[in-house]
Amino acid sequence: MQNKSIVVIAAHPDDETLGCGGTIARFAMEGKDVHVVFLADGVGSRSENGIPDPRELTDRRQAAEKACKILGVQSLEFGDHPDNQLDTVSLLQFVQAVEAQIAVFRPDTVITHNAGDLNIDHQRVHQAVITACRPQPGHPVNTLLFFETLSSTEWQIPGSGPSFAPNWFIDITTTLDRKLEAIQCYNSEMHPWPHSRSLNAAEYLARWRGVSAGMEAAEAFVLGRKRI
């Protein structure tokens, strides 16, 4: 039986590691091909004109390459859509971008953002993925998983968006250290404890998600669809 690939579609470099870095590392260790696709540049919102600083853009992409190498990712694709402004771009563009990646990799599993995240880019990427992965006959994607992202998922106010209510847990006991190592590649994006986007918070969340499902450490997901 042919080994199917997994594609992680994230808004910004660092979302993949924070959201499902331990799962990526576990799948890679099991011999699965994992590919990561970023749709937004990740730094443009920090400039006055919205145009990313070339040095910051290079630094962010280099951090992603280092982190994903630690996790065992097979390939990376960097999009250049405007950071934190994906609501200003046609959804069709994102859907077509996702469809193009699915056509290349024919993944069995696609992992992306939760619908209710506070970050608008996360919301738009989620919508693009579920649109591109409509369950048409012959479509390769059998499993859709939605991850949580520190300092976005838990910052949403109840009632303002769909709550993150995980119903799928993946054991990352053996790959948590690798996830934490990869997170440190994004030092410029991290904050000291007790900020939720901190190394401590990432470990504590993994431990909490683990004990929620009887494991030492886990990553939690909302299962969008599973075809067997």
Long-range contacts of 45-53 (CB under 8 A, 24+ apart): 45/82, 45/83, 45/84, 45/85, 46/83, 50/82, 50/83, 50/85, 52/83
Burial class (CB in 10 A: 0-12, 13-18, 19+), 16: buried
Handedness of CA 59, 185, 74, 206 (dihedral sign): negative
Per the domain annotation, does 1 fall within a domain?
no
Residue 216: partners with Cβ closer than 8 Å, 6 or more residues away: 171, 173, 176, 207, 210
Q: How far apart are CA 128 and CA 98, in angstroms?
A: 7
Distances in Å between the Cα of 84 and the Cα atoms of 2, 56, 70, 158 are 38, 16, 27, 21
Domain that holds residue 127: 6-226
Render pLDDT for 128-173 as a digit per residue (tens, 0 to 9). 999 999 999 999 999 999 999 999 999 999 999 999 999 999 999 9
Per the domain annotation, does 208 fall within a domain?
yes
Question: 123 pairs with which residues across the strands?
Answer: none
Q: What is the count of structural domains for the chain?
A: 1
pLDDT at 47 over 70: no
Closest of 61, 93, 59, 53 to residue 77, by C-alpha: 61
Per the domain annotation, does 202 fall within a domain?
yes
Report residue 1's pLDDT band, with 50, 70 and 90 as the boundaries. Answer: very low
Report residue 51's pLDDT band, with 50, 70 and 90 as the boundaries. Answer: confident
Per the domain annotation, does 122 fall within a domain?
yes
Question: What pTM was estimated for this model as a whole?
Answer: 0.96
What was the pLDDT predicted at 53?
A: 82
Render pLDDT for 105-131 as a digit per residue (tens, 0 to 9). 999 999 999 999 999 999 999 999 999
Question: 8 pairs with which residues across the strands?
Answer: 36, 111
pLDDT at 2 over 60: no
Q: Token digits for 191?
A: 């904050």
In contact, 169 and 218? CB cutoff 8 Å: yes
Closest of 99, 82, 116, 86 to residue 7, by C-alpha: 99
Per the domain annotation, does 54 fall within a domain?
yes
Q: How far apart are CA 61 and CA 213, in angstroms?
A: 34
Per the domain annotation, does 52 fall within a domain?
yes
Per the domain annotation, does 141 fall within a domain?
yes
What was the pLDDT predicted at 52?
A: 74
**CATH (domain of 51):** 3.40.50.10320
Note the helical H segments in the chain. Answer: 15-29, 54-71, 91-105, 120-132, 176-183, 199-212
Q: How far apart are CA 165 and CA 37, in angstroms?
A: 25
Question: How many Å from the N-terminal Cα to the C-terminal Cα in the chain?
Answer: 15
Per the domain annotation, does 200 fall within a domain?
yes
In contact, 52 and 43? CB cutoff 8 Å: yes
